[in-house]
Amino acid sequence: MPSLEELEATMKAAGEKVRDLKTGGADKAEVDAAVAALLQSKTDFTAAGGVVAAPASSGKKKKKGGGGDAAAAAAPAAAAPAGDDALLSKSALKKKQKADAAAAAKAAKEAEKAAKASANPQKKKVSLLGDDEVDPTKYTENRYTALKNLKEAGGNPYPHKFPTDMSIPEFVTNYNGLEKAQTHDDVVSVAGRIVMIRSSGSKLVFIDLTGDSEKIQVMADLSSYDPAQDLLADQAKKAGLEPFEYKMKLIKRGDIVGVRGHPGRTKTGQLSIFPQQVELLSPCLHMLPTGGEHGSGFKDVEQRYRLRYLDLIMNPENREVFVTRSRMIQYVRSFLDNMGFIEVETPILNIQAGGATAKPFITHHNDLDIQMFMRIAPELYLKKLVVGGLERVYEIGRQFRNEGVDATHNPEFTSCEFYWAYADYEDLMQLTEKLMSGMVKALTGGYVIEYHNDGPENPPTRVDFTPPFKRVSMLSGLEDVLSAKEGKPVKIDLNAPDIDAQLLALNVKYGLDVAPPQTTARLLDKLVGEYLEDTYVNPTFLCDHPRLMSPLAKLHRNDVTLTERFELFVCGKEVCNAYTELNDPQIQLENFSRQASAAAAGDDEAQGKDDGFVTALEHALPPTAGWGMGMDRMCMFLTDKHNIQEVLLFPTMKPQEN
């Protein structure tokens, strides 16, 4: 059965149909049918309990009755519903009348408010800043247009010079002691990049100015601005504006500007410069990312690497990574200089790649019409210099290896290598402990650092550089680990005729994949990497590498199957590689021949034969120790960066398709 509300709606619809037919001139039969339907809907409505409102009074006087009857009739007549309202129930009519009264009151209130606003119009808020930001897609186009207009008016948006008295960090240091609301008598000039700009009315603009990772506020006030000093005063006049207004409309976030004025602090204590002069020195023609601290919404990792300049603008904290890198290199350079080493430079283009086990980049010299290699290490050249009498030499420079890119490898990287006559690998281990621990303490304030070895989203690892560092002999250390895994003693005899089969079986058993060619060195290196190198968190010397893994190292004085070599590992990453240098030309030639055979078998990382270096050794290389460190990896620890690309200003990236 229909609800009361549905019956009421049906009745109203029938009433509207009757009215439409009458006003539309319908024939009598159609009108009569509609009236019948209306009467039936009223009957159904009242039968369900609804009450039909009485029709409006005709307005004619009634015959005399009693005075009370006349008065009673007058009151309902005034409030009687008319038209559509006559079809409403009493409750619905009451709700409608209440809503109509509220709407009338609201309309009256709005009319009164509009009348007051018309009588007392408020001044529109004025902003000195331009409206380029309204449509970001037009920002660059608008800026080019503005600069074109400026140039046509005789202005120069790229002046040759703006004399500065100090840097922004120096400004902060010199005037940090000012009190609230204090203004210094000095008039100074500084320059920097606008990272935030906002206006307060038509006479005041606040600018955040940065330089060298420091920030100050520029509180530009019309009352203190000197239009006579403004370099674009003539252009402002042509535009019909005051120089202050013209300049504030011209400069944008990201621009390089020069500011001349009084240092001081605002009433709230903000260190500021109150300018007499603001000059555009170089406009930024692209809208900088927004959001985050200092408006920094530039967090996409790949884009930060590709657009490092924008990364440094938007994320000033990343600048400190490269400041630390520079200080690290300075520390190493100073350490070696103080020991009497001299810094040298050796060729980057080589006729033959050597000095390390790595795959080189190949290039071609057009004039000589020969194939050349970009160096993978400076080692052979530096040892030739020791032969020539430069007994302590070092080089800090780029190396190039045509290998994979991952969290700890980049095709070009920076290393430091030095060669020290009349020293051995024991001396090098002591020097390494002194250098590394001293550098960590100097740059971080202590020997212990926290490093997010598993990424910034995971808890950090505590790494202790307090000397002395742990030492592990490679073969005996691997035998200990494998014996524990096997539950029985495991002995690795590199002279055994089936040593390759033994090592391969161990790799297969423990699920380690060794890419071909599966030489003894590669099979052993895979096991060592998995069960030794990756387990070292604190600095650890992995020592005494087998001869077959170290073609340039001197044979161990107590075991000729081994060499006097060590690698330093921190958090599973190789940081240093060093050894007592092989100076016997005959053994060196044998090692080169063995490496050449490996290369012929398909090992593209094996070193080739270098007759020129063997000839140099025949002229007598004194007992010498050689050492190398990957500067990039060490910087990762000092700056707590998990990816090597974070510590390279311009890492190698795959080109974007578009």
Torsion over CA: 199, 203, 206, 211 (sign): positive
Distance CA 374, CA 352 (A): 9
Would you state the pLDDT for residue 356? 85
Highest mean pLDDT among 63-67, 80-84, 547-551: 547-551
Q: Is residue 140 part of a domain?
A: yes
pLDDT higher for 120 or 448?
Answer: 448
Would you state the pLDDT for residue 62? 43
Angle at 9 between CA 5 and CA 14, to 5 degrees: 150
Torsion angle, CA of 58/63/65/70, rounded to 10 degrees?
30
Q: How confident is the model at residue 92 (pLDDT cuts 50, 70, 90)?
A: low
Q: Is residue 147 part of a domain?
A: yes
Q: How confident is the model at residue 77 (pLDDT cuts 50, 70, 90)?
A: very low
The reply to whether 36 and 178 lie within a common domain is: no
The reply to whether 324 and 284 lie within a common domain is: no
Q: Domain boundary residue among 288, 308, 336?
A: 288
Closest residue by Cα to residue 199 from 255, 154, 251, 147: 251
The reply to whether 341 and 458 lie within a common domain is: yes
Q: Which secondary-structure segment (H or E) carries 177?
A: none
DSSP 8-state code for residue 546? B
Instruction: Kindly tell me the burial class for residue 82, based on how many C-beta atoms sit within 10 Å of its own C-beta (0-12, 13-18, 19 or more).
Output: exposed
Per-residue pLDDT for 272 more than 70?
yes
The tens digit of pLDDT for each residue in 463-514 reads 999 999 999 999 999 999 999 999 999 999 999 999 999 999 999 999 999 9
Six-digit token string for 164:
């500065």
The reply to whether 253 and 394 lie within a common domain is: no
Q: Is residue 136 part of a domain?
A: yes
Torsion angle, CA of 344/348/353/354, rounded to 10 degrees?
20
Q: Is residue 86 part of a domain?
A: yes
The reply to whether 353 and 445 lie within a common domain is: yes
Q: How confident is the model at residue 101 (pLDDT cuts 50, 70, 90)?
A: confident
The tens digit of pLDDT for each residue in 575-627 reads 999 999 999 999 999 988 888 888 787 777 677 789 999 999 999 999 999 99
Distance CA 86, CA 54 (A): 7
Q: Which domain holds residue 454?
A: 319-465+571-579+621-647
Residue 215 maps to which CATH number?
2.40.50.140
Q: What is the mean pLDDT of the chain?
A: 89
Q: Within 13 Å and on the Cβ side, how many CA atoms surround 13?
A: 8
Q: How confident is the model at residue 120 (pLDDT cuts 50, 70, 90)?
A: low
Distance CA 93, CA 602 (A): 97
Residue 419 maps to which CATH number?
3.30.930.10
Would you state the pLDDT for residue 477? 97
The tens digit of pLDDT for each residue in 153-166 reads 999 999 999 999 99
DSSP helix/strand/coil, 573: strand
* Distance from chain centroid for Cα 257: 25
Q: Domain boundary residue among 268, 288, 308?
A: 288
Would you state the pLDDT for residue 295? 52
Per-residue pLDDT for 198 more than 50?
yes
Q: Which of 61-75, 237-251, 360-374, 588-602 is least confident?
A: 61-75
Highest mean pLDDT among 50-54, 65-69, 431-435, 550-554: 431-435
The reply to whether 346 and 431 lie within a common domain is: yes
Torsion over CA: 328, 330, 336, 341 (sign): positive
φ/ψ of 188, rounded to 5, equals -125, 160
Antiparallel, parallel or unpaired: β 188-199 and 412-421: unpaired
The reply to whether 37 and 183 lie within a common domain is: no
Per-residue pLDDT for 270 more than 60?
yes
Instruction: Kindly tell me the burial class for residue 284, based on how many C-beta atoms sit within 10 Å of its own C-beta (0-12, 13-18, 19 or more).
Output: middle
Per-residue pLDDT for 177 more than 60?
yes
Would you state the pLDDT for residue 70? 39
Q: Is residue 179 part of a domain?
A: yes
Distance CA 246, CA 460 (A): 52
Determine contact, residues 374/348, Cβ cutoff 8 Å: yes
Per-residue pLDDT for 111 more than 60?
yes
Q: Which of 275-284, 530-539, 548-557 is least confident?
A: 548-557
Determine contact, residues 419/622, Cβ cutoff 8 Å: no
Average pLDDT over residues 261-270: 96
Distance CA 401, CA 358 (A): 6
Q: Is residue 384 part of a domain?
A: yes
Percent of the chain with pLDDT over 70: 89
The reply to whether 345 and 395 lie within a common domain is: yes
Q: Domain boundary residue among 94, 123, 148?
A: 94
Per-residue pLDDT for 76 more than 80?
no
Per-residue pLDDT for 84 more than 70?
no
Six-digit token string for 160:
């040759």
DSSP 8-state code for residue 361? P
- Contacts of residue 78, defined as CB under 8 A and 6 or more positions apart, other chains included, come to none
> Sheet of 392-400: strands edge to edge?
342-343, 392-400, 412-421, 624-630, 573-580, 565-570, 540-543, 470-473
The tens digit of pLDDT for each residue in 201-214 reads 889 999 999 999 99
In Å, how far are 361, 457, 463, 549, 566 from 572, measured between CA atoms? 27, 19, 12, 19, 15
Q: Which residues of 15-27 are buried (b: 16+ CB within 10 A; e: fewer)?
A: bebbeebeeeebe
Would you state the pLDDT for residue 88? 56
Q: Which secondary-structure segment (H or E) carries 464?
A: strand 461-464
Q: Is residue 540 part of a domain?
A: no
The reply to whether 243 and 158 lie within a common domain is: yes
Distance CA 494, CA 545 (A): 12
Instruction: Kindly tell me the burial class for residue 452, based on how many C-beta atoms sit within 10 Å of its own C-beta (0-12, 13-18, 19 or more).
Output: middle
Distance CA 114, CA 106 (A): 12
The reply to whether 329 and 458 lie within a common domain is: yes
Distance CA 591, CA 384 (A): 18
Q: Which amino acid is at 552?
A: L
The reply to whether 151 and 282 lie within a common domain is: yes
Determine contact, residues 341/334, Cβ cutoff 8 Å: no
Would you state the pLDDT for residue 123? 46
Per-residue pLDDT for 38 more than 90?
no
Enumerate the H helices of 205-242 as residue ranges.
233-238
Q: Is residue 173 part of a domain?
A: yes
Distance CA 277, CA 299 (A): 35
In Å, how far are 195, 361, 371, 374, 609 from 352, measured between CA atoms? 50, 11, 9, 9, 9
Would you state the pLDDT for residue 219? 97
Q: What would the DSSP string read from start to end of 612-653?
A: HHHHHHTTTPPSEEEEEEEHHHHHHHHHT-SSGGGG-SS---
Determine contact, residues 192/118, Cβ cutoff 8 Å: no
Angle at 586 between CA 582 and CA 589, to 5 degrees: 85
Would you state the pLDDT for residue 26? 73
Q: Which amino acid is at 384?
A: K
Start-to-end C-alpha separation, the chain: 68
Enumerate the H helices of 390-455 as residue ranges.
425-444
Distance CA 221, CA 215 (A): 19
Per-residue pLDDT for 66 more than 50?
no
Would you state the pLDDT for residue 78? 42
pTM beyond cutoff 0.75: yes
Would you state the pLDDT for residue 400? 97
- How many structural domains comprise the chain? 3
In Å, how far are 190, 194, 206, 218, 274 from 168, measured between CA atoms? 6, 12, 17, 12, 14
Closest residue by Cα to residue 260 from 247, 278, 272, 244: 278
Q: Which residues of 535-561 are buried (b: 16+ CB within 10 A; e: fewer)?
A: ebbbbbbbbbbbbbbbbbbbbbeeeee
The reply to whether 389 and 270 lie within a common domain is: no
Residue found under tokens 């100097």: 442
Per-residue pLDDT for 124 more than 50?
no
Distance CA 622, CA 620 (A): 6
Would you state the pLDDT for residue 656? 86
